[in-house]
C-alpha cells in the first residue's frame, strides 16, 4: 500500500515537472552516485540517494528518462521529505496506534515478507542450454509453421443460373479478364467487392473440406481450379502464393523456451514449498 502511495506521489511529481525535466541539462546526470550518500535528515531519519533511486526504479523507464537529472531528483527528494514530515505528524497525532492503521501495517508487512520469501526460494532457479535444446528437440510441433496458401475465390450461387455463370466466368478468364475483377463483380462472397476474392493465408483445417481439397491441390501460383461445390455454393479458386512448412530456428525461440521452462520450474517449486509449509505450520480452517 505504501509503495503504491509513493508511486502516486512520483507520478504527481512527474506530471508537474515534465517541462522542467525536459529542460534540464543531461550532463547533470551522474552515473557514479553513491547510494549511501545522505541527501537530507528529517528529525533523526536519513534520506539517501538509494531512496530516490528506488522510487525512480519503481516508477518505470519513462519516469527515469524524465526525472533522472539533478532537478528531477531534487523534486523527488522534496516529496520524500514531505512524506516523512506527514508521517511524523501522524505519529504525533497517535495515528500509528489507530486499529485500522495497525491492520494495514500488519497486512503490508505480511505481504512484503511473503514476497521476499518467495523471491528467496526462486532466486536459484535457472534453465540450462541443454534443457532448452532438449525441449526444442522434443516438441517440434510447437516451433513448426505448417504449409499455408493464399488464394482468391469466386463464389457463385447454387441455383438454376449456376451452369451459365460458371461458363461465363471461365470464358472471361480465358479472355484475360483478371480474376480479382471478376470476383469483385460476380462473387456472392460479401467481402469480394473490396478484396477481389482474396482469402489471405490459411492452413489445412480452416476451410470446408471440399474447398480445402481443391485449393491445396493447386500447385503453382496462378493455377485456377475447376468449379468445386460446397454448402456455400460453387467456388472457382485461384492460387496466389504458397508458404511451405517452416521450422523456427532454435536460437530464435531459445529466450521464449527459457522463460516458459523457468515459469514451469517456479510454479513447481512454489507448490512444493507450499506443501512443505503446510506440514510444518499448523492451519485451522473454520469455514467450509
pTM: 0.59
Q: Mean pLDDT for the chain?
A: 89
C-alpha radius of gyration, the chain, whole number: 33
The whole-number pLDDT of residue 115 equals 94
What's the rounded Cα separation, in Å, for the pair 76 and 13? 7
What's the rounded Cα separation, in Å, for the pair 183 and 194? 10
> What is the per-residue pLDDT across 189-215, written as a single tens digit (0 to 9) for each?
999 999 999 999 999 999 999 999 999
| pLDDT class of 41 with cuts at 50, 70, 90 | very high
> What is the per-residue pLDDT across 72-129, written as a single tens digit (0 to 9) for each?
899 899 999 999 999 999 999 999 999 999 999 999 999 999 999 999 999 999 999 9
Instruction: Name the residue with cell 534540464.
Output: 24
Beta strands (DSSP E) in the chain are 38-42, 45-48, 144-145, 148-156, 198-202, 228-230, 233-243, 246-247
> What is the per-residue pLDDT across 243-286, written as a single tens digit (0 to 9) for each?
999 999 999 999 999 999 999 999 999 999 999 999 999 999 99
Flag whether pLDDT at 34 surpasses 50.
yes
The whole-number pLDDT of residue 210 equals 96
Flag whether pLDDT at 33 surpasses 80.
yes
The whole-number pLDDT of residue 5 equals 54
Q: For residue 225, give the DSSP letter.
A: P
Flag whether pLDDT at 28 surpasses 90.
no
Pair 240, 221: CB distance under 8 Å: yes
Q: For residue 232, give the DSSP letter.
A: T
The whole-number pLDDT of residue 17 equals 47
Contacts made by residues 25-30, CB under 8 angstroms, sequence distance 24+: 25/69, 26/69, 28/69, 28/70, 28/71, 29/68, 29/69, 29/70
Flag whether pLDDT at 224 surpasses 90.
yes
Q: Where are the domains of the chain?
A: 2-93, 147-244
Higher pLDDT, 17 or 265: 265
| 147-244 CATH fold | Chitinase A; domain 3 (3.10.50)
Flag whether pLDDT at 18 surpasses 70.
no
Distances (CA, A) of 139 to 142, 157, 204, 232, 246: 6, 44, 20, 38, 14
Sign (positive or negative) of CA dihedral 232, 235, 240, 243:
positive
Task: Give strand pairing partners of 150.
Answer: 201, 241
> What is the per-residue pLDDT across 91-101, written as a single tens digit (0 to 9) for each?
999 999 999 99
- The percent of residues in the chain predicted with pLDDT above 70, rounded, is 89
Flag whether pLDDT at 67 surpasses 90.
no
Q: What is the dihedral of CA 236, 242, 245, 246, to 10 degrees?
A: -150
Amino acid at each position: 500500500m505504501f509503495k503504491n502511495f509513493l508511486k502516486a506521489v512520483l507520478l504527481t511529481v512527474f506530471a508537474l515537472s515534465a517541462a522542467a525535466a525536459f529542460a534540464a541539462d543531461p550532463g547533470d546526470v551522474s552515473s557514479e552516485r553513491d547510494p549511501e550518500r545522505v541527501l537530507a535528515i528529517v528529525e533523526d531519519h536519513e534520506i539517501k540517494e538509494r531512496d530516490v533511486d528506488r522510487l525512480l526504479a519503481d516508477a518505470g523507464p519513462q519516469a527515469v528518462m524524465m526525472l533522472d537529472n539533478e532537478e528531477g531528483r531534487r523534486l523527488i527528494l522534496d516529496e520524500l521529505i514531505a512524506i516523512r514530515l506527514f508521517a511524523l505528524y501522524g505519529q504525533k497525532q497517535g495515528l500509528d496506534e489507530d486499529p485500522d492503521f495497525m491492520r494495514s501495517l500488519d497486512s503490508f508487512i505480511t505481504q512484503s515478507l511473503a514476497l521476499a520469501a518467495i523471491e528467496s526460494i526462486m532466486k536459484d532457479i535457472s534453465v540450462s542450454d541443454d534443457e532448452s535444446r532438449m525441449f526444442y528437440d522434443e516438441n517440434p510441433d510447437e516451433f513448426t509453421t505448417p504449409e499455408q496458401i493464399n488464394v482468391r475465390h469466386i463464389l457463385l450461387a447454387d441455383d438454376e443460373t449456376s451452369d451459365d455463370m460458371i461458363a461465363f466466368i471461365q470464358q472471361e478468364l480465358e479472355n484475360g479478364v483478371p480474376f480479382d475483377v471478376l470476383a469483385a463483380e460476380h462473387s456472392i462472397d460479401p467481402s469480394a467487392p473490396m478484396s477481389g476474392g482474396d482469402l489471405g493465408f490459411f492452413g489445412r483445417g480452416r476451410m470446408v473440406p471440399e474447398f480445402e481439397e481443391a485449393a491445396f491441390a493447386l500447385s503453382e501460383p496462378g493455377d485456377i481450379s475447376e468449379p468445386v461445390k460446397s454448402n456455400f455454393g460453387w467456388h472457382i479458386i485461384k492460387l496466389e502464393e504458397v508458404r511451405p512448412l517452416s521450422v523456427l530456428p532454435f536460437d530464435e525461440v531459445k529466450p521464449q523456451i527459457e522463460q516458459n521452462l523457468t515459469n514451469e520450474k517456479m510454479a513447481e517449486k512454489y507448490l512444493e514449498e507450499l506443501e512443505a509449509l503446510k506440514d510444518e505450520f499448523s492451519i485451522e480452517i473454520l469455514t467450509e
